[in-house]
Structure 1
Amino acid sequence: MAKHGKKYSEAAKLVDAETLYEPAEAVALVKKAAPAKFDETVEIAVRLGVDPKKQDQAVRSVVVLPHGTGKTQTVLVFAKGEKAKEAESAGADFVGDTDMINKIQQGWFGFDVCVATPDMMGEVGKLGRLLGGKGLMPNPKAGTVTFDVAKAVQEIKAGKIEYRLDRAGQIHAPIGKASFSEEQLAENLRALIDSLIRNKPASAKGLYLKSAAISSTMGPSVRLSLQSFR
């Protein structure tokens, strides 16, 4: 059994591991039980009633959190001509085409999110092994392959996140920082759960939202009551 530090042990005493907490109470507890001196990220883990082995039950989408994640995303856009200018005007941190592709092939990864115009994907595809392994490959489902690069950049900067089902049938995603207000965390939480519900696979049967818990980076997990979302 893993041993926890004194701060974690003290924080864990605030949480009843058997209780399902209402969203407002859960985020208040997570904030109170965040033991680190740095501004911890608050994350959610949701177990879904789907079969991750079935392609038609894959859950993958994006959501713009009302209050962002608390982290400024560094955005790279693969585009040419006018689209490159649009990306720069929208606030993209890096914009280019073959020059950026060559830079990545040489080992540069100074960005968090990639956006590409569809006409660039033939070239960007050469980076499949490099970007795919880090979850950075532009994808139409995530809205990162688009000619509307300005909108894509603005949404990412505003707090858009991508989530996807893992092999265990769970979704893991950030919903803010411990320094956020309880209201901000609760609204971000609601936005994410609502997005999951909207993206429920048609072939999924039975209980869809099975269980969920939220926690800060260094804090204990707080089990969430999903009744109000259902």
Structure 2
Amino acid sequence: MKHGKKYSDSAKLVDRTKVYDTNEALDLCIKTAKAKFDETVEVHVRLGVDSRHADQQVRGAVVLPNGTGKKVRVLVFAKGDKVDAALEAGAEYAGGEEYMTKIQNEGWMDFDVVIASPDMMGVVGRLGKILGPRGLMPNPKAGTVTPDVARAVTEAKAGKIEYRLDKTNIIHCPIGKVSFGTEKLSKNLDTLMAAIAKAKPAAAKGQYIKSCVVSATMGPGVRVNSNKYVAV
């Protein structure tokens, strides 16, 4: 794959054979972000599990202490008082079948997170083929299916992110913006990695956290020493 000059210049700053301490890796990540916009910093964690087995799935959610730097638009499926509670908590949209119809018939997707009260999952379930592939389907493990929709909205707005394995046994997550600086990004990364370490399946054998790489949106990957994150 051919890269542009900015990427090539940035890549020269990174020693591909080296595993960096967290702060050093994030410093490099910030230095290699050359785009004109505030790039997102992402972490890519390869785990020693097999996602094909149900007992080796790794999935959950965690609130990053410094947020993600992204404005999150929240859609809540709820009834009665919970609609008002969700809107008061900051949800952009809250309601029932009218939103299901809008998504199905109009292809409406002006939201980033979907939360549902348990009694609405019959409605939301009909949207599985649309929301599922986009990673937007509410899920109890991620805290997005809950009776307390107001709290879920507050957490989503505060920087709650969901982590889950892809088919190649890697977790990809945003941990903030380049403008956050090393200290804030480091706290976010530590929080996410602690949650992933805690979520280690009992069926996982051998080395659990195989590798950890951070990168800015348009920058090269920087390998992070993941030894301190290994679950005891």
Q: Distance in 2 between matches of 1:145 and 1:34?
A: 36
Say whether residues 1:161 and 2:161 are aligned partners.
Answer: yes
Pairing of 1:136-175 with structure 2 (within 5 A): 136-175=136-175
Say whether residues 1:43 and 2:42 are aligned partners.
Answer: yes
What secondary structure sits across from 1:63 in the alignment? Answer: strand
- Scaled by the length of structure 1, the TM-score of the pair is 0.98
Pairing of 1:1-230 with structure 2 (within 5 A): 2-106=1-105, 107-230=107-230
Q: Distance in 2 between matches of 1:60 and 1:229?
A: 17
The superposition leaves residues 160-217 of structure 1 with CA deviations (integer Å, 9 ceiling, x where unpaired) of 0101111111111111111111100000000010000110001111111111110001
AA paired with 1:132?
G
The superposition leaves residues 1-22 of structure 1 with CA deviations (integer Å, 9 ceiling, x where unpaired) of x111111111111110100000
Cα deviation, residue 228, structure 1: 2.2
Q: Distance in 1 between matches of 2:50 and 2:134?
A: 24
Q: Distance in 2 between matches of 1:228 and 1:200?
A: 15
AA paired with 2:226?
L
Q: Distance in 1 between matches of 2:229 and 2:198?
A: 12
RMSD: 0.8
- Scaled by the length of structure 2, the TM-score of the pair is 0.97
Q: Distance in 2 between matches of 1:79 and 1:221?
A: 41
What secondary structure sits across from 1:67 in the alignment? Answer: coil
What secondary structure sits across from 2:153 in the alignment? Answer: helix
Cα deviation, residue 133, structure 1: 2.2
Cα deviation, residue 229, structure 1: 2.1
Cα deviation, residue 138, structure 1: 1.0
Q: Distance in 1 between matches of 2:199 and 2:227?
A: 18
> Any unmatched runs of 5+ in structure 1?
none
Cα deviation, residue 35, structure 1: 1.3
AA paired with 2:159?
G
The superposition leaves residues 70-113 of structure 1 with CA deviations (integer Å, 9 ceiling, x where unpaired) of 10110000111111111011000001111111111121111011
AA paired with 1:60?
R
The number of residue pairs the alignment matches comes to 229
What secondary structure sits across from 1:44 in the alignment? Answer: strand
The superposition leaves residues 44-93 of structure 1 with CA deviations (integer Å, 9 ceiling, x where unpaired) of 11110111111100001101111111101100001111111110110000
The superposition leaves residues 107-155 of structure 1 with CA deviations (integer Å, 9 ceiling, x where unpaired) of 1111011111111111111111111122111111111111101110000
What secondary structure sits across from 1:162 in the alignment? Answer: strand
Q: Distance in 1 between matches of 2:216 and 2:24?
A: 15
> Any unmatched runs of 5+ in structure 2?
none
Q: Distance in 2 between matches of 1:215 and 1:137?
A: 27
Q: Distance in 2 between matches of 1:124 and 1:48?
A: 31
